[in-house]
Chains A and B, each alone.
Chain A
C-alpha cells in the first residue's frame, strides 16, 4: 500500500466550478501535511500547508482529518490557470530527515 494515495484523475472541470481533491495517508506518525502544485515539466511549488483546524488561502481551502488519515483540497471559482497536477504530501517527523512523502498527484484540467 502506498504511503500517500491520490486519485490521479484527470479531473476535467469547467471554469468557475468548485473542485475537491482527496488524499489518504497510511503512516499515523505523519505530522505535517502540504499541498504542492506542479505544472507540466516544472518543479513542485508549495501551495499551502494543511492544519487540523482547516486553513484557507483565497479560493483554496485545505483540511486535515487525523482520525481518518485524510487530507482534502477545495478550489472555488476555478480559473484556467489552476490547470496543473496537485501533489499531496505528508512528512513523518517534525524535521525533514525522513523527507517528504508525495502522492502521485491529481491532474486537474480547467476547461473554458
Chain B
C-alpha cells in the first residue's frame, strides 16, 4: 500500500508570486484534505476535495484554491503569496469523505521571502 506523497519537499518563493503544491493520495482513498501548519501551531484546515469537487473549506481567502484529478491526486494553488503564507503545507487522505481518520503526507515546507 502506497502512502500519501507530496511534492516538492521544500520551496522558496517571493512575495506576490504563485505556487502549486502536489499530493498523491493513499491507495484506495478518494478524499484529500489540505492543511497549513505555521511554526508552533497545529494544522489549520484549508479545504477538502472529494470526487474532484471542493467538499468543504476552512477560513482561508480565495487566493487559496485547489483541484482534484480523476486519480484522486490533488493540487493546492496559492496566488499573490504573502510572508504569512510561510508554513508547512500538509495533505491528508481518507478512504471516503465521511471517514474522519485522515493520513498525512510528509508536507511541503514553503518559505516566502
Interface residues of A (CB under 8 A from B): 4, 31-32, 34, 41-46, 49, 87, 91, 94-105
Report B-chain residues with C-beta under 8 Å of the C-beta of A94: 98, 100
Closest to A85 in B: B42
Report A-chain residues with C-beta under 8 Å of the C-beta of B56: 96-99
In contact, A97 and B106 (Cβ under 8 angstroms): no
Please report whether the interface of chain B is mostly helix, strand, loop or mixed according to DSSP. strand
Closest to B47 in A: A99
Interface residues of B (CB under 8 A from A): 31, 33, 35, 40-48, 50, 55-56, 58, 88, 90, 92, 94, 97-107, 109
- A4 and B105 alpha carbons, distance in the complex (Å): 23
In contact, A95 and B104 (Cβ under 8 angstroms): no
In contact, A97 and B97 (Cβ under 8 angstroms): yes
Report B-chain residues with C-beta under 8 Å of the C-beta of A49: 101
In contact, B103 and A32 (Cβ under 8 angstroms): no
Report A-chain residues with C-beta under 8 Å of the C-beta of B105: 43
- A32 and B106 alpha carbons, distance in the complex (Å): 24
- A49 and B47 alpha carbons, distance in the complex (Å): 22
In contact, A96 and B103 (Cβ under 8 angstroms): no
Report B-chain residues with C-beta under 8 Å of the C-beta of A42: 106-107
- In the assembled complex, 29 residue pairs joining A and B whose CB atoms fall closer than 8 Å, in A order, are A32-B100, A41-B88, A43-B90, A43-B105, A43-B106, A44-B43, A44-B104, A46-B102, A46-B103, A87-B42, A87-B43, A95-B55, A95-B98, A95-B100, A96-B33, A96-B97, A96-B98, A97-B48, A98-B45, A99-B33, A99-B47, A99-B56, A99-B58, A100-B33, A100-B35, A100-B92, A102-B35, A102-B42, A105-B42
